Amino acid sequence: MPLIKYSQYITYPNGSPASETTVPVLLTGGNVLVPLFSDKAGTVSLTNPAPTDADGLLTFFAAPGSFCTELAGEMFHLMVDPAEADDAWPGTFVHVQPVPAAVWTIDHHIGIPPAVTVLVAGQPVDGEVAHVDSEQLTITFGAPTAGTALLRR
């Protein structure tokens, strides 16, 4: 299984970049530190908690998964680098919402409530996710929004 490049800017609650600090990288919904690497081949291990650069950018390679980090009480869902060419999540259900809507209703048929990542213009955004049942969910936004939702087990 290929390692995937993840990249996310980390900021403090006041919006300033978390420059040259370290943050723990965890499986979403858990408290287990995941193995990280500084290269796609997985030959150079990276410490976890992982370092950010001078701009607060956290970048690492890891097995496909859903990861998060926390800094000063704020949670960050870690995103796949937009330049990544390999499949990040085998079996990912992709919902494209081309027409802006305040509520997206998604029939995914995954069979369990999936993890949800919403991208607008390639950037992660927050929406209120409600799992109607194991086959459907809704995402509610403060204003009509168009974009993409990535759903994975």
The count of C-alpha atoms lying within 13 angstroms of the C-alpha of 24, restricted to the half-sphere facing its C-beta, is: 12
Contact 15, 39 (CB under 8 A): no
Region of 20 please: left (phi>0), alpha (psi -120 to 50) or beta.
left
Mean pLDDT of 28-55: 90
- CA–CA separation, 37 and 43 (whole Å): 7
Domains in the chain: boundaries:
4-78, 93-152
- Which residue is associated with the tokens 């390999």? 86
Q: Write the CATH number of the domain with boundaries 4-78.
A: 2.60.40
Which band of pLDDT confidence, cut at 50, 70 and 90, is reported for residue 147?
very high
- CA–CA separation, 111 and 131 (whole Å): 11
pTM above 0.85, yes or no: no
Which band of pLDDT confidence, cut at 50, 70 and 90, is reported for residue 42?
confident
